[in-house]
Amino acid sequence: MQPVQPEGPLILNFDNSVGTIKGAVCLDLQAWQEKIRFACSWRDFNAVSAFISDRLPQNYGTVLLGSGDYHHISYFLVKKLGEKLLRQQAAGGIEKAKAARQSRARPAALAAALPAQIAAGPGAAAPVHVVILDNHPDNMRYPFGIHCGSWVSHLAALPFVARIDVLGITSSDIAPAHAWENRLLPLWRGKLRYWSVGVDTGWARWLGLRHAFRNFAAVEDMAAAFTAEQAGRTMPVYLSLDKDVLAPALVHTNWDQGIMAKETLIALLTALKSRIIAGDIVGEVSEYRYKSPFKRLMSALDGQARVPPAELSAWQRVNQVFNRQILPFLP
């Protein structure tokens, strides 16, 4: 079943960085910034998820989340997609069953009319391939809840997520010094793969993880290899773009950035466009001073630089123009 045609973009406005987009619905979430930004407890994550769920439009297009400090909200969005797919499958199964009854089909034919996912019970939505364009793996250990750099490990536990590919990593997060910080189980199981450029990932071979790492000398070679691998595949895609994957000459973000050019990004989006059924954009730039000493410490340990106040508005305008250029390639 084809998903319902989405309407305009959706802005989850945590930090006032996205600006205005024609036709977009905007949910004001600025009151949640202190609790949710960068990292949060599962209690707070579940609370904001419920708050957003109660206010979501029935149909919406690409979701803009603001700073990459909110990338863990993508986990909530993918879960919502799974719920939507399951509802669509259930509705389709009911219609098929009605048609079978009206045609006086035999019981065996009636059973065959129900999709296998429905017969399997709750939580068995059709499989989805999650493609994440990001300078970081977002699969790091975080024992205090969920973090903008830990959400992928939780995503990998969702039963309907068949595959996760993180493309464009140049961060040292997957280099030998930080190898122990990565959650290895999704990599071992073959559900998660890292596509990196110029990073020493030789350690992965010693742990039996060679199948989960693809490292390249040039970002264009990485994009070409991924595009070639995906040719002819039909599984629906959820696309999450963190603009920190892009070269600093293009946009500014709150995190260290990669080297991807705009042309490479558009080539990847074009190759996947017919399969992308939902997606989000993060990686705006914004400034926030945490009230929590713990968050101030964690942010400092992660090397987050302060945004020059005199540059903030100009940087945000550049990012907003870039978003308008990219949105036509997304649902």
| Residue 103, domain member (yes or no) | yes
| Residue 276, domain member (yes or no) | yes
Among 61-65, 277-281, 291-295, the range scoring the smallest mean pLDDT is 291-295
Q: Name the band, by pLDDT with cuts 50, 70 and 90, for residue 94.
A: low
Residue 2: how many CB atoms within 10 A of its CB? 7
| Residue 28, domain member (yes or no) | yes
Q: What percent of the chain has pLDDT over 90?
A: 82
Distance CA 66, CA 286 (A): 8
| Residue 85, domain member (yes or no) | yes
| Residue 1, domain member (yes or no) | no
Residue 202 maps to which CATH number? 3.40.800
Per-residue DSSP letters for 15-77? Answer: SS-S---TT-EEEE-GGGHHHHSSEE-HHHHHHHHHHHHTT--SS---EEEEEGGGTTHHHHH
> 241-253, pLDDT tens digit by residue?
999 999 999 999 9
| Eight-class DSSP state of 113 | T
> 214-258, pLDDT tens digit by residue?
999 999 999 999 999 999 999 999 999 999 999 999 999 999 999
Distance CA 132, CA 281 (A): 10
Distance CA 73, CA 236 (A): 20
Range of the domain at 218: 10-329
| Residue 4, domain member (yes or no) | no
Task: Note whether 100 and 108 are within 8 A (CB).
Answer: no
Residues composing the chain:
331
User: What would the two tokens of residue 321 be?
Assistant: 């123009």
Q: How many domains are contained in the chain?
A: 1
Question: 213 in helix, strand or coil?
Answer: strand
| Residue 5, domain member (yes or no) | no
| Residue 65, domain member (yes or no) | yes
Task: Give the strand pairing for 39-40 and 146-147.
Answer: antiparallel
Q: Which residue has the higher pLDDT, 150 or 108?
A: 150
> 30-60, pLDDT tens digit by residue?
999 999 999 999 999 999 999 999 999 999 9
